[in-house]
Homo-oligomer: A and B are copies of this chain.
Amino acid sequence: MRRKLITIRDVAEHAGVSVSTVSHVLNGNDHHVGVVKRARVLAAVDALGYRPNAIARSMVKRKTATVGLVWTEIDNPIFIPVIAGIEEILRPASYHIVLASAPDVESEIQAIETLRSQQVDGFIFMSLSICYPFDHLIRLKNEGVPFVVINRCLDDSDIPLVQWDDRGAGYQATQHLLSLGHTRIGTISGPIHDTPPRRSAIERHRGWQEALQEYGISAPPEWTLVSDYTHEGGYKAVQQLLSLRASGCELPGALFVANDVMAAGTLKALHDAGLQIPRDMSVVTVGDSPFAAYTIPALTTLSLPVQEAGREAAYILLEWLNNLISWKSSEAQKITLRCSPQIRESCSPYHT
């Protein structure tokens, strides 16, 4: 339905003033405007139900007060708190969020292109730490477009990045096991061999390795199961692990599972196989999704500062948009947020 728009000119006419006066009043430049006319303008705005056209304004100001949010893996619930964090910062600053999901680099490039033609003022890219090629981001940078990236590997390129400390998470988780006296510690890792690689999976795995190494402990290769971050993957990995028994191999007494979703699958598989957790197997993981406190047993885990990552990213971008920082300024910020341990029920001290 094509409704007739009420324009600033209508308001001006109705108030018996000029458009620029209306504009001044509406934009708070009213130190130059007389009280009488000011009131008349406001009254007219009210009477007419005038709604300023942000498009027209963007047109002349060459700013849209909009940031593009490009995410890979739209189906991952972890992005909900990230978005919440972003909104928390961006909304009070009157910025809007335009969403674009981009399952791969091709569509990401496409999305950027479209959002740029939409004149967004900046971007936030978020992914599950997938190591996509990022030439297009470098190009974007060189064109002076403000953006920040959440959770993705960017090598040592000078691009602002917010991520959480995956290596530390793996390390702390494993160390927790070690501190309980465990020495036979296996792992169900995330997709560490994927192409493109997943930084988080690789880093968490490395954290596990480093912790073991530091304690002078080694684990046989059969105790490393490579999986895929899914419930089912966790479940199957355990089945595979347990099949070691048949071949006479010893089982680990504890497991570092690279994320909480797999850990839920792990718990299930262990239970289905008749094992008791943590009596027969301690399980520690990374990621503290809401369900993690309600699995059986409740998961001991490292919680990821997900919402905080959203906030930080938004905050950095905002500084950009307010011209407080820019690509010119010394170097891009890299923020690595620490994970914090949640001790619950899935680990017990080592016992013979």
Contact = CB atoms under 8 A, between A and B. Distances in A.
Nearest to A260: B291
B294 A54 contact: no
A96 interface: yes
Nearest to A64: B55
A20 interface: no
Nearest to A146: B1
A243 interface: no
Interface in A271-297: 271, 290-291, 293-296
Contact of A268 (B143, B261, B294): B294
B290 A231 contact: yes
A13 to B, nearest CB: 20
Copies of this protein, total: 2
A86 to B, nearest CB: 10
A5 B143 CA distance: 11
Contacts of A267: 294, 296
B296 A296 contact: yes
Nearest to A291: B291
A272 to B, nearest CB: 8
A74 interface: yes
Contacts of A83: 74, 99
A113 interface: yes
A98 interface: yes
Interface in A50-86: 51-56, 58-59, 62, 64, 66, 69, 74-77, 79-81, 83-84
Nearest to A264: B294
Given A96-B114, A268-B298, A80 B87 contact: no
Nearest to A99: B97
A279 B146 CA distance: 59
Given A261-B290, A265-B294, A87 B59 contact: no
Nearest to A235: B294
A302 to B, nearest CB: 19
Nearest to A96: B98
Contacts of A69: 99
Contacts of A143: 3
Contacts of A97: 98-100
Given A80-B79, A98-B96, A117 B53 contact: yes
Given A55-B59, A290-B231, A1 B327 contact: yes
Interface string A2-38: 1101000000000000000000000000000000000
A231 B98 contact: no
Top 5 nearest A-B pairs (CB, nearest first) are A1-B144, A77-B77, A97-B99, A231-B294, A54-B117
